[in-house]
Each structure stands twice: as structure tokens, then as C-alpha cells.
Amino acid sequence: MSDHDTDTASPGQGPLATLTPRIKAGVLAEALPYIRRFHGRTIVVKYGGNAMTEERLQRSFAHDVVLLKLVGLNPVVVHGGGPQIDAALRRIGKQGTFVQGMRVTDAETMEVVEWVLGGQVQQDIVMMINEYGGKAVGLTGKDGAMISARKLLMPDKNNPGASLDLGYVGEIASIDPAVVKALQDDQFIPVISSIGYGEDGLAYNINADVVAGKMAEVLHAEKLILMTNTPGVLDKNGNLLTGLTAKRIDELFEDGTISGGMLPKISSALEAAKSGVKTVHIVDGRVEHCLLLEILTDQGVGTMIKSH
């Protein structure tokens, strides 16, 4: 299946040349009902993990996003950059630290975050999408006053009633999607880095899964897709849970099955599902063309979350 889908994104080259016309027709026939159903709809994709650091997967992602745009869907990319931020911090002799899945961010770390997310990482994504025939535009929360943020005070799990100060880590006060909508209307693909700006004039590092979830809500997206480095949500025995409801997720939080970096991801997914995003998918970003497989074929590659 994945071989065939690889080909939908790279016509004229690679394995596609060796496929029979009948198999090619089968791939297109399978995609057609989905293309019809989602035509004109917004799909928000949180791009991160291995898919951002391995060139083969970067190219597969760029192909997929451009193809989705060409067949009439409206992809919006929200990206993280954890590995790149860690690498940049190491270069200046700093070690990244995390509390409950969130990065502790002092002033020096925030400078690095802004430089990496709003600069290097974002421009790499924009250039690669453009290379494959898309028209991508990079944005941070400052552009169009898009993401208003305030300092996040995180409840301390080990000390009920107390909260943790993670430095320049923010939560979303509000999102104004006007600039994103204007770009979509002009056939551009918005690429958004998860930096918000407060009324205090300071920049805040916001978890990219949280930004993607809220962006999907305010854009009334058809789908929110969160790319990760696992096959999806796994139970305690390592088995993939392909479909989850709000009730089941609460149970998984409660018994510790979902923890660490998956906490903000699943919380955002659930919040988006409860707030009107039709379906939320947690997909394995290590699978080539996982976006096409998840959106345009019968066989998904991860966990789907619905509100009930």
C-alpha cells in the first residue's frame, strides 16, 4: 500500500514507472472519494519528530502537502523543532530540561527557540514545499497578531494547589486566524511556528501540539493530524489503539498509559475533537507519505480520536 501511495506524490519517477496502469488506476480510484469529500476543507497538520529530521521523510512530507493542495484541500502546517532546538542549545553549552512534557525556557533558551523555530527550521520547511511546486509562507504568532500568549503556570502534579514556573513558556490567550485565511484564499500554504507574543511584548514558547489543536478549532478544520514518532497511541502492552473516545482517553490518563511528551499531544487532540474538529489523527511520522495514507486511503496509519 505505501509503495503505491509513494507514487501518487512523485509522478514520472521511482516505483511509479514500474506499476501497471491497473494498479495506478486503483490508487487513484481509492483516493477519489476522499478528494471529493474533503475538497475545499482545511486540514491542520502538526509536523514534528523524525519526519522533520530525516531527509527522506522531509521530502515525503513536502510532496504530500503540495499534492493535498493541488487536489483542492487546504493544508495548514504547524511545526515544532525539539531536536533542532536541543542541538542549538548544545552548541552553546546548554542542556534542555523538561517538566511534564514541556520545555523549561529561560531567557537565553527563548532566544534560541525564536532563532531556530522562526528562522532555520521554518525556512527549511517553506523552501522544501516550494521546491515541490507549492507556495508556502512562513509565519510566527507575531504576524498578523495571530497568536496572543500569556505565561503558562503549570499545575504541579506532585504538589496539589501549587504551580510550576517554566520561564518563557506560554499558553494561548487567543488566536486570530485572519492572516492564515487570507493566505489560504490566495492558494498559499501557511507554515506556522509555535511562538506566541504577550501584551507584555515578550515572546513565549508554546507547545506546537497545543498551537495546532487551537488553530484547527479556530479554522473549523475538517481534520487535525498530529505527526509523532510512534505508530499512534499504544496501550500498556504496546498495541496500537486505532480508535479512541474522550472517555477512553480519560481512563488512559488516569492509569498512566499516556504520559510524558504524549500528554500535551493527546490533551490537544481531545480538546480539538470536543471543540468541533471532525476527526483528529495521531499518525506515525516515520512512515513515508503518512499524510496521504491517512487522508486519501481506506487504510489509516495511526490513532483516530473522536469526541464521543
Residue numbers in the known binding site are 81-82, 103, 205
- Quote the distance between the C-alpha of residue 218 and its chain's center: 15
The H or E element containing residue 62 is helix 55-70
CA-to-CA distance for 69 and 215, rounded, in angstroms?
18
169 bridge partner residues: 205
Summarize the annotated binding site for substrate as residue ranges: 81-82, 103, 205
**In whole angstroms, how far apart are CA 117 and each of 27, 85, 136, 235, 299?**
36, 8, 16, 32, 33
C-alpha cell at 193: 511556528
Residue 118 DSSP label = I
Locate the DSSP E strands across 61-210.
74-79, 98-99, 102-103, 136-139, 147-155, 163-175, 189-193, 195-197, 203-205
Cβ atoms of 240 and 230 closer than 8 Å: no
Cβ atoms of 245 and 256 closer than 8 Å: no
Return the amino acid letter for 73. L
- With 0-12 / 13-18 / 19 or more C-beta atoms within 10 angstroms meaning exposed / middle / buried, residue 29 is exposed
Hey, CA dihedral for 295, 300, 302, 307, is it positive or negative?
positive
